[in-house]
Amino acid sequence: MVKVLLVDDDTELCALQAEYLRVEGFEVSLAHDGESGAAAALSGEHAIVVLDVMMPRLNGIEALRRIRQTSRVPVIMLTARGDDIDRVLGLELGADDYVPKPCTPRELVARIRAILRRVDSGTAPREAHASLSIGALSLRPEQRRAEWAGEILDLTSTEFNLLEVLARQAGTPVSKQDLSEQGLGRPLARYDRSIDVHVSNLRGKLGLLADGRSPIQTVRGVGYQYITE
């Protein structure tokens, strides 16, 4: 069974979500503060972490910062609806996605499955396993491994997904809607800045082309395009 870690100080809500997840076939562990949640996330026992922002002892942002120092475990942030500052900061620190609260257990399960579907290469179509090399970039989807000029890139699961989508369509603009659906596993919501933040993170981790430009270029009014020259 896939093991999910829920980190939220709202014990009643946490219990409700855990019950729904168990019915849906997940194994669930609970933590009710950021300190114990970060420690549990770093244990290596969980396939994905759902992390609330507002918590005692250590808030979700600081817990995420601690997790990302040594772990690439997928993380979904639970953020207050309309709280763009926490949302963007979480994505910049390496969260894979966010769910605005209050959310239904059904929506949370859908987000969890969308991320796990992309992480689990065993469920991907055969063509998605194919390695890819474009200029200095090399991708090995079966290993979830990306390299730039032979150096391993430290990418989150979502960053790898988005980079793969862009690289496989190199030279062609890819809309933000397509990036969201293929990389995050969900439609792009109105005013959603997730794709922009993830792409900004990718640009900071990738190397530059010979002329000093980023290989990921903005296509105004459309989305982004991976280029090689």
Residues 214 and 203: their CA atoms lie apart, in Å, by 6
Only one residue has tokens 């969900």, namely: 186
Same domain assignment for residues 114 and 138: no
Residues 129 and 221 reside in one and the same domain: yes
Nearest to 78 by CA among 105, 54, 99: 99
At 81 the pLDDT is 67
Residue 86 has what pLDDT?
87
Domain boundary among 119, 152, 175: 119
pTM of the full predicted structure? Answer: 0.85
The stretches in the chain having pLDDT less than 70 are 81-82, 121-129
Same domain, yes or no: 136 and 81: no
CB of 46 closer than 8 Å to CB of 3: yes
Q: What is the CATH number of the domain that holds 197?
A: 1.10.10.10
Are 53 and 128 members of one domain? no
The count of domains in the chain is 2
Indicate if 220 and 191 belong to the same structural domain. Answer: yes
Residues 91 and 198 in one domain: no
* CATH code for the domain of 78: 3.40.50.2300
Tell me the per-residue pLDDT of 115-173, one tens digit each, with 9 for 90 and over: 998 877 444 444 556 889 999 999 998 888 999 999 999 999 999 999 999 999 999 99
Quote the domain boundaries for residue 85. Answer: 3-119
Same domain, 7 and 94: yes
**CA-wise closest residue to 137 among 211, 203, 194, 73:** 203
Percent of the chain at pLDDT above 70? 95
Pairwise CA distance, residues 195 & 159, whole Å: 9
CA distance 3 to 66: 20
The confidence score (pLDDT) of residue 224 equals: 98
pLDDT at 123: 40
Q: Residues 148, 94, 194, CA angle at the centre, nearest 5°?
A: 100
Mapping DSSP to helix (H, G, I), strand (E, B) and coil, where does residue 214 land?
coil
The answer to whether residues 130 and 194 belong to one domain is yes
- Annotate 26-92 with three-state secondary structure: CEEEEECCHHHHHHHHCCCCCCEEEEECCCCCCCHHHHHHHHHCCCCCCEEEEEECCCHHHHHHHHH
For the chain, state the CA radius of gyration: 17
**How much is the pLDDT for 143?**
85
Residue with tokens 């609970």: 30
Short-list 158, 157, 146, CA closest to 215? 146
- Domain final residue pick, 59, 85, 119: 119
Is residue 40 located within the same domain as residue 139? no
pLDDT of residue 102: 83
Work out the angle at residue 196's Cα, subtended by the Cα atoms of residues 222 and 204, and round it to the nearest 5 degrees. 120
Last residue of a domain, one of 58, 92, 119: 119
Phi, psi (5° rounding) for residue 68?
Answer: -75, -10
Q: Dihedral sign for Cα 20, 26, 31, 33, please.
A: negative
CA 201 distance to own-chain centroid: 11
**What is the predicted pLDDT for the residue at 164?**
95
Q: Are residues 97 and 191 in the same domain?
A: no
